Amino acid sequence: MRHDLEKTLLAKITTLPQLTANIAGWKSDGKKVVFTNGVFDLLHLGHITYLSKAAELGDKLIIGLNTDASVKRLKGESRPVNDQNNRAALLAALFFVDAVILFEEDTPRELITKLMPDVLIKGADYTVENIAGAKEVLANGGEVKTITLVDGYSSTSIINRIKAQVKGEQTC
């Protein structure tokens, strides 16, 4: 039983050729494909809420996940806390996630133009004009939407709270 679960989980972590084939099949079955992306370093309530709302906007949810090298360029040498394999597995374990694909670039624009989802989602801290791939998705007849984030939840804020607690313990 566990072997089947692990196999199912790992099957969600995919490659571009496999995902392209999956999307073609989903779309031919009339499924609406949703794409979002991010680092998802420390999975928390804000992520779960955001991703579940994204999943509700279509039939299949794909997550583009920044590789470790990409995260380091974007967030600094101390990040990510969890490596890309751990982050991908945690996302794949969510029942409403259908596929996780890693991307090396700083933005997923190239990946989005290859996958061409029906709906592109980002947090409401972005404007449509600032969302990588939005222009391409809209030109292809797709939708671009933003989702309000849960206040007080971010991997960076959690990391900072942990550092403050550790620092406080060291001074005692």
pTM for the whole thing?
0.89
Protein fold of 2-171? Rossmann fold (3.40.50)
Backbone angles phi, psi at 102, to 5 degrees: -80, 145
Amino acid at the residue 112: I
Residues 17-35 have a mean pLDDT of 98
Strand, helix or coil at 34? strand
**pLDDT of 172 higher than 60:** no
CA proximity to 99, closest of 9, 4, 24: 9
The pLDDT tens digits of the residues spanning 149-168 come to 877 767 777 777 787 888 77
The pLDDT tens digits of the residues spanning 54-82 come to 999 999 999 999 999 999 999 999 999 99
Q: Model confidence at 146, in pLDDT bands (50, 70, 90)?
A: very high
CA separation for the pair 161, 168 (Å, rounded): 10
